[in-house]
């Protein structure tokens, strides 16, 4: 008698980049860092950028916005609420930021759009805060994420090396080798989960994403329930 395994829901965070199965623009690739300067500046202006001159010590703010962190934290702790427009702002800002990162990583030669998804797909679920979140965890999540950021540092270092190799490959062949692309996208075979948790969800740590932390911090009543709700960590590949 065969038993049918119930379909497991998608992983709370979904990040994917469409592989460019075509010849990429070699000229744009050769000067990618220079070409990307305007869009990087634009991203900084909506990311709350600032700098401190070394002599005067005055802080100069040249942008507004940025990922909303303290506001959602206070609302979750005291009101058990995450305003939807704050959540949408954080999500759209991260989508835009990821399109810029993908462009810098040579994974797409189309100039990053401020609103169109292009080759990047990033989604995560809006929380029902009273049901999905422990109201006190936002106070310590930043500390619990420290080991995660350590892993992220090594992954980014490896990705930089791979992007340099891919740069030469595109200049000579016009193609981004699929194996290198997959590594940068997700450090496979486990990388889709790791990279989503690191590159995309590293930001979600600070923007208080609910379901990912519910799973990572063991908020599920027991391991079996966590497996039933979120799968074995391989969902969303």
At 186 the three-state DSSP class reads helix
CA 108 to chain centre: 17
CA angle 14/17/21 to nearest 5° reads 150
Of 83, 84, 121, 115, the residue nearest 102 (C-alpha): 121
pLDDT at 47 over 90: no
On whether the CB atoms of residues 152 and 198 are closer than 8 A, the answer is yes
Q: What is the mean pLDDT of the chain?
A: 74
At 52 the three-state DSSP class reads coil
At 16 the three-state DSSP class reads strand
**Which contiguous run of DSSP H or E holds residue 142?**
helix 141-144
DSSP state of 5: P
Of 101, 95, 73, the residue nearest 86 (C-alpha): 73
Instruction: List the single range of 74-78, 92-96, 101-105, 196-200 with lowest mean pLDDT.
Output: 196-200
- pLDDT band of 53, cuts 50, 70, 90: low
Range with top average pLDDT, 28-32, 84-88, 89-93, 118-122: 28-32
Query: How far apart are alpha carbons 184 and 17 in whole angstroms?
Result: 10
On whether the CB atoms of residues 106 and 47 are closer than 8 A, the answer is no
Top-confidence residue, 33 or 203? 33
Q: Average pLDDT for residues 50-63, to the nearest whole number?
A: 57
Q: Tell me, what's the pLDDT at 95?
A: 92
Q: Tell me, what's the pLDDT at 55?
A: 59
Whether the pTM exceeds 0.75: the reply is no
Whether residue 189 is preceded by a cis peptide bond, meaning omega within 30 degrees of 0, is: yes
Q: Tell me, what's the pLDDT at 153?
A: 85
> How does pLDDT run across 90-130, given as a tens digit for each residue?
899 989 999 999 999 999 999 999 999 999 998 888 888 88
Q: Tell me, what's the pLDDT at 7?
A: 54
Phi, psi of 195 (to 5 degrees): -70, -35
Phi, psi of 200 (to 5 degrees): -80, -45
Query: How far apart are alpha carbons 131 and 2 in whole angstroms?
Result: 35
| Bridge partner residues of 16 (DSSP) | 121
Residue with tokens 């990912």: 212
Residue 39: both structure tokens together: 């869009």
Residue boundaries of the structural domains of the chain: 23-230
Q: Tell me, what's the pLDDT at 81?
A: 86
Spatial neighbors of 69 by CB under 8 A, at least 6 apart, are: 206, 207, 208
Cβ neighbour number for residue 189 with a 10 Å cutoff: 11
């Amino acid at each position: 008698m065969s038993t049918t395994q119930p379909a497991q829901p998608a992983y709370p965070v979904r990040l994917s980049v469409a592989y460019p199965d075509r010849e990429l623009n070699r000229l744009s690739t050769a000067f990618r860092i220079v070409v990307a300067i305007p869009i990087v500046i634009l991203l900084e202006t909506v990311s709350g950028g600032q700098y401190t001159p070394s002599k005067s010590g005055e802080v100069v703010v040249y942008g507004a916005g940025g990922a909303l962190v303290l506001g959602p934290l206070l609302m979750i702790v005291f009101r058990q609420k995450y305003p939807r427009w704050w959540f949408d702002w954080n999500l759209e800002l991260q989508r835009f930021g990821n399109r810029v990162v993908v462009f810098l990583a040579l994974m797409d030669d189309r100039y990053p759009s401020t609103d169109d998804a292009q080759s990047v797909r990033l989604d995560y679920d809006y929380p029902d805060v009273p049901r999905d979140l422990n109201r006190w965890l936002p106070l310590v999540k930043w500390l619990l994420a420290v080991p995660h950021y350590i892993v992220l540092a090594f992954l980014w270092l490896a990705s930089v090396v791979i992007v340099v190799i891919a740069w030469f490959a595109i200049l000579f062949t016009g193609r981004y080798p699929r194996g290198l692309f997959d590594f940068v996208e997700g450090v496979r075979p486990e990388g889709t989960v790791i990279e989503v948790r690191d590159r995309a969800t590293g930001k979600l740590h600070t923007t208080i994403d609910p379901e990912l932390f519910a799973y990572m911090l063991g908020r599920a009543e027991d391991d079996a329930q966590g497996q039933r709700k979120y799968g074995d960590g391989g969902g969303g590949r």
